[in-house]
Structure 1
Amino acid sequence: MLKQLDLTGKMALVTGATGQLGRVIARTLADCGANIALHYINNEAKAQELQREIESMGKQAIIVQGDITRPETAPRLQEQIQSSLGGVDIVVANAVIQYAWTTVLEQAPEDYLGQFESCVMQSVYLAKAFIPYMKEVKGGRFIGINTECAMQNFETQSAYTAGKRGMDGLYRVLAKEVGKYQITVNQVAPGWTISERDRSSEPGHDEGYTRTVPLKRRGEDQEIANAVAFLASDLSSFITGAYIPVNGGNVMPAI
């Protein structure tokens, strides 16, 4: 029987939900039927706006705040969400620390530590806090937002690439450890994506980038969110341990 992409009755946590990509992921999961926990660190006004928007769609939403790179935050968020809306079926690790890119010789050591904390340790803390419930109910979706940069290894990408490649290793091991509980663990790897910020400003010069993309364009944030929704659904029930580029073919994992 053909299944539909239906998240009705599911509870999803999106970290970094007020960010350019996070907000579209949250809206898309809600549009597919899920109730949403919107995590933010600083932008409370945007979190409240998203909460009202999702509630207007007929879905439940809660906003939760905290530095997701700290070990005490994820357990606190788990308790807040559990007591308010119930157990989390879908975790989307989307939050990441932003920083200025430069060469290895000039990049500050704290930038490498920050990327490790937000790419690797965030997911470790989230797994420890939320996967026990998924094990209990024998099912769940754990989804991380990676990047095509992890395959490109271009100049000035070192801290970001190091963090995301570390994240990749963690997700592959976690997928093997929790698969027996019917929990899937996957990564979506966007390319240079068009977001709300781009649409509200002057068009950028992206010809150099799109020249290397087989589909000859940049992806839309909605296209990234669509891939997340697919992985969150029962349609992806036999996919785990995957790193899925959503970048028009700009990078292609090889066998």
Structure 2
Amino acid sequence: MQLDLSGKTALVTGATGQLGRVIARTLAACGANLALHYINNDTKARELQGEIEALGRQAVIVQGDITKQDTAFRMRDEIQSVLGGVDIVVANAVIQYEWTTVLEQSPEDYLSQFESCVMQSVYLAKAFIPHMQNIRAGRFIGINTECAMQNFAHQSAYTAGKRGMDGVYRVLAKEVGEYQITVNQVAPGWTISERDRSSEPGHDEAYTRTVPLKRRGEDQEIANAVAFLASDLSSFITGAYIPVSGGNVMPAI
């Protein structure tokens, strides 16, 4: 038994980011062709495209502001012309901002999180779900966060955006389930990425004390969960919010 994505095409938004690039590499290693979305880092996008093509996969890069509906539809058309229809969507891109209190956080930060968490997912669904309905198969995967369950101080804009995203995914799962399309979310904890490995170790003892597994997760562990949900092994899982946080958050029944 293995994760076999041969013959599938996957779109990863924010593919040049710390987590996005590992997700893209992992899906390619499982056999998928990749559409790599980015907004600014053309150099990293082309480097990642080369890595994936070196694995014997096809890869296309698509650029644009994912918080705009016309971007999603343009990306769909560009991908279609090279790779065909998209079988797997991974909504990973998110706008970064400085966290502070509710009283001090700017209204623009709340809007940016709503646009990059909620509206990105809506636009991607509108652009890519119809093809999945036509072939009666597909995987729609969002990257959420453990913060959506924690509700800690200074997290209000991020938490609000991700909790709104959660609502969209749960409803979408019910709306498209009859087409054998699954809709799920992976919720990372505070994850070790390439940037962390290339710098001095951080002071994370206070965080890891709260984690049952007593460590931070690795980006590869998040990507592994995404690959599982993208595969046929997850064919009867939909509407799920799956923390990959070492037990730091545990959804209850």
- TM bucket (normalised to shorter chain) is over 0.9
Mapped pair 1:5 → 2:3: yes
**How many percent identity over aligned positions?**
85
Aligned to 2:29: 31
- Shift in Å, 1:71: 1.3
Query: Runs of 5+ in structure 2 lacking a partner?
Result: none
- Shift in Å, 1:4: 2.6
Tell me the distance in 2 between the aligned counterparts of 1:94 and 1:71: 16
Mapped pair 1:161 → 2:149: no
Tell me the distance in 1 between the aligned counterparts of 2:54 and 2:80: 22
Query: Runs of 5+ in structure 1 lacking a partner?
Result: none
Out of 145, 148, 151, which is 2:149 matched to?
151
SS at match of 1:245: strand
Mapped pair 1:178 → 2:173: no
Q: How many residues align?
A: 253
- TM-score normalised according to structure 1 size: 0.99
Out of 4, 12, 23, which is 1:14 matched to?
12
SS at match of 1:178: helix
Tell me the distance in 2 between the aligned counterparts of 1:43 and 1:213: 34
Tell me the distance in 2 between the aligned counterparts of 1:4 and 1:54: 20
Out of 224, 235, 238, which is 1:237 matched to?
235
Out of 111, 127, 130, which is 1:129 matched to?
127
Offset from partner CA, 1:150-193 (integer Å, 9 cap, x none) = 00000000000000000000000000000000000000000000
Aligned to 1:104: 102
SS at match of 1:72: helix
**4+ residue runs of structure 1 moved beyond 3 angstroms?**
none
Aligned to 2:116: 118
Tell me the distance in 1 between the aligned counterparts of 2:68 and 2:139: 22
Aligned to 2:82: 84
- Shift in Å, 1:216: 0.1
Aligned to 2:209: 211
Out of 224, 227, 231, which is 2:225 matched to?
227
Aligned to 2:57: 59
Letter in 1 for 2:221: E
- Shift in Å, 1:56: 0.3
Offset from partner CA, 1:220-239 (integer Å, 9 cap, x none) = 00000000000000000000
Letter in 1 for 2:213: L
